[in-house]
Amino acid sequence: MNKVLLILHKEWLELRQERALLFGMLLPPLLFTLLPVLIVYAAGTAPDEDTRALGAALADPALAGLTSLELGQAIVGRQFALLLLMTPLIVPSIIASYSVVGEKTRRTLEPLLAAPVRVRELLFGKCLAALLPTLIVTWVGALLFAAGMALVTVSDRALAAIITPGWITAVLLCTPPIALLMIAACVAISSRVNDPRSAQQIAAVAVVPFMALFFGQLVGVVVLSPAFALGMAVVLAALAALGLWVAVGLFQRETILTRWS
């Protein structure tokens, strides 16, 4: 465990020196948090006829009985709330894609791979270095999002329609496996390529099923209930465990040293 903590400490020290990575890590959560607050506020000040058109686009029993202003805020706020789940896709892809390739560019890969550290310990430390910041920025962003919605929504009913138990369950339980799955994919790819951008492209592929969930909720086909979020978390946890197992199997230090020597 001491070796894992040493690797974690080393990764964080290097991360602090990469200002571009820090900026890329903090920008998406800020956008997913602050921009929705402004848009929901604007939806609450729109004329009634504008929000009625929005309400007709979604037939959701949970939104029954809301006024036109409440409905407009609820629809917009729900979609942006779901977008917060993209944070554990984007942030770890930025950090983990440099986990191996970045070592090569800094000329620290060969000494690291030659050190008396097991592959599992090495990857565990690197995964933690990407996972912990992701959890922090995602959950802090979710708290700020909820606080902002409490300030700009026109009523408690509109707030309850946005900050739902299903959304809270998804943010708490789905964030870790989503991040781990992305980290495993990026580590596996970055151990096989020479360019960090190749590893980051996996994030674009991972967004596809997420957009299906996004549009499914928009048209009322998918309801993000606590049970649905819990089931999604279980499936994602299984996929993340499989992804980490594959990443460990693909990470062959002898092959990497030979290819990049």
Q: What is the pLDDT of residues 208-226, one digit of tens each?
A: 677 677 767 766 677 788 9
Q: How would DSSP label each residue in 70-101? A: HHHHHHHHHHHHHHGGGHHHHHHHHHHTHHHH
Structure tokens belonging to residue 40? 């929901």
193: left (phi over 0), alpha (psi -120 to 50) or beta: beta
Indicate yes or no: pTM above 0.95.
no
- Among 71-75, 112-116, 131-135, 209-213, which is the least confidently predicted range? 112-116
Per residue in 21-32, pLDDT (tens digit) is: 666 667 777 777
pLDDT of residue 77: 87
pLDDT band for position 33 (cuts 50, 70, 90): confident
107: left (phi over 0), alpha (psi -120 to 50) or beta: left
- Tokens 């151990």 correspond to 191
Check whether 144 has a pLDDT greater than 60: yes
Q: What is the dihedral of CA 83, 90, 8, 128, to 10 degrees?
A: 50
In angstroms, how far is the first alpha carbon of the chain from the final one?
Answer: 29
pLDDT band for position 15 (cuts 50, 70, 90): low
Q: What is the dihedral of CA 46, 48, 53, 55, to 10 degrees?
A: 90
Whether residue 166 contacts residue 85, with contact meaning beta carbons closer than 8 Å, is answered with no
State the DSSP code for 155.
S
